[in-house]
Amino acid sequence: MTVSPAWEVQEEAGATRWFHVRLAFPDGAGVEALAVVAEGCVSIEDVRAEPALSLDDLSVLADWIEGPLFEACGMDAEDVDEDGEDDPAEGERTTGRRARPAWPRGIEGRWQVAQEYRAAQEEGVDPVLAVMCATGHSRRKSLRLIAQARDAGFLTPRHARRRTD
């Protein structure tokens, strides 16, 4: 496995870093991913695999690359428990290595997406990245959730519509 920095964006409170991750297997299979590390949150933005990954393999991809990503970021061993798992707070799901709060579906989820988005805007940070970290979803899925929150009326329209009278 190789992890190499792609780019970094400095913000007031810290930095957001993107990494190219490449896994090569003895049978010739390979996986390439673009991972984002921000505010202690790891997200996968893009994955390409040959042959295609099964859903089970895709669900554990973050587990495969988490350790090397932490090393590339210079995170200490005390940032992760002895067994490699985060300490889940009450009400958080514990599947996988990184526990995240369970994200509600439907109107409640859209409302929470809008709250995360607005809070990030007020703090002057990237609202899409804030939604990604809060939900644990990819950038594409997070943008879809933001659009659904806009359609539900929880966020203002992205572009003002012009009248064509």
Q: For helices 127-135 and 106-123, what crossing angle results, to 10°?
A: 140
The pLDDT assigned to 141 comes to 85
The pLDDT assigned to 81 comes to 40
Q: Is the dihedral of CA 135, 137, 138, 143 positive or negative?
A: negative
pTM of model > 0.75: no
**Residue 78 and residue 1 share a domain:** yes
**Residue 59 and residue 124 share a domain:** no
The pLDDT assigned to 66 comes to 72
63: left (phi over 0), alpha (psi -120 to 50) or beta: alpha
The pLDDT assigned to 115 comes to 93
The pLDDT assigned to 139 comes to 83
Low-confidence ranges of the chain (pLDDT < 70): 40, 70, 73-102, 159-165
The pLDDT assigned to 43 comes to 79
φ, ψ for residue 11, nearest 5 deg: -125, 170
Whole-number Å distance between alpha carbons of 64 and 84: 12
Unique residue bearing structure tokens 């690359």:
65
Strand partners, 41: 38
Asked if 83 contacts 77 with a C-beta cutoff of 8 angstroms, the reply is: no
Burial 34-55 (b: 16+ CB within 10 A, else e): bbbbbeebbbbeebebeeebee
Asked if 151 contacts 113 with a C-beta cutoff of 8 angstroms, the reply is: no
**Residue 79 and residue 107 share a domain:** no
**Residue 7 and residue 55 share a domain:** yes
**For residue 127, what are the domain limits?**
103-155
**Residue 144 and residue 69 share a domain:** no
**Residue 143 and residue 76 share a domain:** no
**Residue 76 and residue 29 share a domain:** yes
